[in-house]
Amino acid sequence: MAEEYKEALLDKQKYHDGCPGCKVEQMKQLRRGYPYLELTFVWIIVLSTSLPISSLYPFLYYMIEDFGVAKTEKDIGFYAGFVGCSFMLGRALTSVFWGIVADRYGRKPIILLGTISIAIFNALFGLSVNFWMAIGTRFLLGSFNCLLGTMKAYASEIFRDEYQATAMSAVSTAWGIGLIIGPALGGFLAQPADKYPNVFSQESIFGRFRYALPCFTISAFALVVTVLCCFIPETLHNHKLGSTSHDDSYEILEAASLESSAIEKAGKNERKASQSLLKNWPLMSSIIVYCVLCLHDTAYSEIFALWANSPRKYGGLSYSTNDVGTVLAISGLGLFSFQVFVYPFAEKLLGPVLVTRYAGALMIPIQMSYPFIASLSGLSLSLMLNCASILINVLSVSAITGLLILQNRAVDQSQRGAANGIAMTAMSLFKTVGPAGAGILFSWSERRLDAAFLPGSHMVFFVLNVIVVVGVALTFKPFLVTGRR
Neighbours of 262 (CB within 10 A): 8
Q: How far apart are CA 392 and CA 296, in angstroms?
A: 11
Please report the pLDDT score of residue 240 as a whole number: 53
Distance CA 222, CA 170 (A): 18
Single-letter amino acid, residue 154:
Y
Query: CB 120: neighbour CB atoms within 10 A?
Result: 16
CATH says 33-237 is which class? mainly alpha
State whether the Cα torsion 223-225-231-233 is positive or negative: negative
Q: Could you give the CA distance from residue 182 to residue 180 in angstroms, rounded to a whole number?
A: 5
pLDDT at position 369 is: 94
CA separation (Å) from 149 to 192, 351, 423, 430? 34, 22, 7, 15
Range(s) of the chain covered by CATH 1.20.1250.20 = 33-237, 280-484
Find all residues with CB under 8 Å of 382, minimum gap 6, and list them. Answer: none
DSSP, residue by residue, 445-463:
HTT-TT-SSS-THHHHHHH
C-alpha angle with apex 298: 86 to 171, nearest 5 degrees? 105
Residue 389: its pLDDT value, please? 93
| Domain 280-484 listed as CATH 1.20.1250.20 | yes
Q: Which of 268, 265, 126, 102 is nearest to 190 (CA)?
A: 126
Exposure of 204 in the CB half-sphere (CA atoms within 13 A): 15
Dist CA 432 CA 228 (whole Å): 31
Of 401, 327, 328, which Cα lies nearest the Cα of 358?
401
Over the chain (485 residues), the average pLDDT of each successive run of 10 is 45 49 53 70 89 86 87 81 86 83 86 93 94 94 84 79 75 79 87 88 89 94 93 70 44 43 45 63 91 91 88 88 85 81 84 92 95 92 94 90 84 75 82 85 88 90 96 92 67
Residue 99 has a pLDDT of: 80
Say if residues 332 and 181 touch (Cβ distance below 8 Å): yes
Residue 472 sits at φ, ψ, to 5 deg, of: -65, -40
